[in-house]
Structure 1
Amino acid sequence: MRFLIPIVVLAAVTVLSAIFIVDEREKALVLQFGRVVSTKEEPGLYFKIPLIQEVVRYDDRILSRDIDPLEITPLDDRRLVVDAFARYRIFDVNQFRQAVGVGGIATAENRLDSILRAETREILGSVSSNDILSSDRAALMLRIRNGAIDEARALGIEIIDVRLKRTDLPAENLDATFERMRAEREREATDERARGNEAAQRVRAQADRTVVELTSDAQRQAEIIRGEADARRNAIFAQAFGQDPEFFEFYRSLTAYDRALQGNNSSMVMSPDSEFFNYLKSPSGVAAPSQ
């Protein structure tokens, strides 16, 4: 009885080591001395020969791989740093095993990185930076994916999608780019100010010309009115002189006295017998008869 228990335990361990389970998230290969003898792609309970055969499992889900940032040079020589990622799945575990050997996922992803980096450089290097930064980048990502599909299939891998996460300028170029953008904006601002000053000068010149024209026209009209008023005044004086010449002469003499005998006038010396004083010497206000 003592010898029976170890035998039962050994038998149980042997049976358990011969059983393995494959769930829906994975695929499995049964290897015998490193050679593939069976492929298990459906979920379920399977058996293998203990100690002789081993099971290698591979993820059957869609996997994601971030590509290390790489620097590219588009057609316009404007260097860019591209950060991308890819989604893929293992579609043929036998081919995958033959391609990567015992390295598994790590080896496959390193080789996948090389494929995607080469395709990214080739595709993005054939267009301008504006195409990469515009809405056309979706078509570029599709071209990268399609270009890498055949090489990836040789690894037993199916590339489902490739996406560009970020597209930036290299750090050493940022300052120069910002300075160039600032200089461009300052140049545009200077041009706008120059155009504004030019327009302002035109407006001022037009306004000055309008002022001169209005002033000249007003002065012309004023001279016309003044001339007409002087003519009317002279006509009235002439009419008054014709009606009463003696009164007109008296009025003109008084006007002459008013203008000549002001306190701020210069001194003048005249003879008392001057005709200037005819009305002053007349007691009746009538001009004395000339001798």
Structure 2
Amino acid sequence: MKYAPIIPIIILVLFGVYKVATFTVQIDQSAVLTRLGKPVNEYTTPGLRFKIPFVHQVVFFSKKLIEYDADSSEIITNDKKNLVIDNFCRWKVVDPLKFYLTVNSYTGAFNRLDDIIYSEMRNELGKHTLIEIISHNRQQIMDSVTALTKKKAEEYGIEIYDVRIKRADLPPQNEKAVYARMKSERERIAKQYRSEGQEKAQVIMATTDKEKAIILANAYKTVEEIKGKTDGKVIDIYSKAYSPDPDFFEFYKSLGVYENVLTEGTEFFLSTNNNIFKVLETGK
């Protein structure tokens, strides 16, 4: 039992050695083992690992998604408008050794992501007009930026999941002028739509008038044809009725003329040579 007093000391020493000679990689972590600042191994699976005390150092990286708000930046659109954008991205470390060798730390990663995102954002937004960026095509534009950023970030052991614009504002000095131009453009488009509508209305009215004229002309032609046929039949009937006695027909026509010309109470003097007297004298 003479060693009993030193047993607690031995246990403490062993525990101390265990603490400085081992490390644990958690399920949501990866790690890089370094010697004098140079990487010698990487660990991407959870478990207990060993190291040489005071020679090896361990750098841990999280496997969780990291949301990073990039600094505000000013870009120029395709229609030469200045735009101040705030964006963010979601990313995580997928290759700890490459990450350590290229950017070394999260601070280095943030700086590099700032450069990559700003470069791709500037290039992509520079292809589009202000209206497209703030309204129509934002989703398509950001999908393109995400794809381009993701490809470049792979060089640093980083996987990009999403890049988005949080806010897009005009510089204070340009805001009123741009709003005025946007209003003017909208009014121009509205005027164009109204003009096109009036033009179409005139075309429709002209077409209607033309169709109306054609219908009326056809109707008049049909009426005249019917009238002509009717007059022909009437003449034919008269001809058949009076052809046996032409003189009587002539007399009847004369009476019709006098009936149309003379009114009641009118005195009218006729020569005895008139056709009416001839009929009265001869009886035929």
The alignment's TM-score, normalised by the length of structure 1, stands at 0.57
Equivalent of 1:95 in 98, 101, 105: 101
Q: Are positions 1:85 and 2:84 aligned together?
A: no
Secondary structure of 1:91's counterpart equals helix
Match of 1:161 in 2: 160
Give distance in 2, aligned partners of 1:74 and 1:13. 63
Aligned equivalent of 1:116: 116
What does 1:11-50 align with in structure 2 at a 5 Å threshold?
11=13, 14-15=16-17, 17-23=19-25, 25-29=29-33, 36=37, 41-42=42-43, 43-46=47-50, 49=53
Given residue 91 of structure 2, which amino acid in structure 1 is its aligned partner? Answer: R
Correspondence 1:273-284 to 2 at 5 A: none
Q: How many residues align?
A: 256
**Amino acid in structure 2 at the alignment position of 1:159:** I
Q: What's the counterpart of residue 78 of structure 2?
A: 75
Could you tell me whether the CA contact under 8 Å between 1:82 and 1:164 is conserved in 2?
no
- Asked if structure 1 preserves the Cα contact closer than 8 Å seen for 2:21 and 2:52, the reply is yes
- SS class of match (1:66): strand
User: Partner of 1:184 in structure 2?
Assistant: 189
Pick the structure with greater CA Rg: 1
Give the RMSD, CA atoms, in angstroms: 5.2
Other structure's SS at 2:244 match = helix
Q: Deviations over 1:33-75 (max 9, x none)?
A: xx548756334232554xx679554215264443436553343
Alignment match of 2:244 (pick from 234, 239, 251):
239
Structure 2, unpaired ranges of 5+? none
Q: Using structure 2 for the length normalisation, give the TM-score.
A: 0.58
Mark the CA change 1:64 to 1:126 in structure 2 (over 3 Å): closer, same or farther: same
Identity %: 10
Unaligned runs of 5+ in 1: 151-156, 279-285
